[in-house]
Amino acid sequence: MSSHVWCHGTNCHKSHTTDRVRGSKGSKVLRTRKVKQNEWNKNSFYKYFCSNGCYNDFANANIERIVALAPRTEPLETPIDDPVKTKHESDYTYSDGTRHTWTTTEIKERVDNTAE
């Protein structure tokens, strides 16, 4: 396997940065960046893109084809125990005698409901 791949960003070769300038005087070009393949990026999109901007350009240009690879026709669900709601009250009392209250909801770990 090659130690580098060309960035797949659709506009990578149009970005005006000095590291993309190639060619001799009179015939300069902006060239797509090479992406080094290493342990850090081996399991991420950075394996094919030099930046978030290049990844976003590619994803925006190809989103319909990307979604067509694995269309979602139904929602995904993760079974959980009933969430635990806890009501809190501040120590501060407003001039009208009321206190600020809020509720937090704690979602417990996933449970296996398949045996029901």
Query: What is d(CA 4, CA 38) in angstroms, rounded to the nearest whole number?
Result: 9
The predicted-structure confidence for 52-70, as pLDDT tens digits, reads as follows 999 999 999 999 999 999 9
Query: What is d(CA 108, CA 99) in angstroms, rounded to the nearest whole number?
Result: 29
Taking Cα atoms as reference points, which of 35, 31, 33, 30 lies closest to residue 2?
Answer: 35
Taking Cα atoms as reference points, which of 15, 59, 5 lies closest to residue 35?
Answer: 5
Helix (H) or strand (E) holding 52: helix 52-69
Most confident segment among 7-16, 47-56, 86-95: 47-56
Q: Is the pTM of this model over 0.85?
A: no
- The percent of residues above 70 in pLDDT, for the chain, comes to 93
The predicted-structure confidence for 66-107, as pLDDT tens digits, reads as follows 999 999 999 988 887 888 889 998 888 888 988 889 999 888
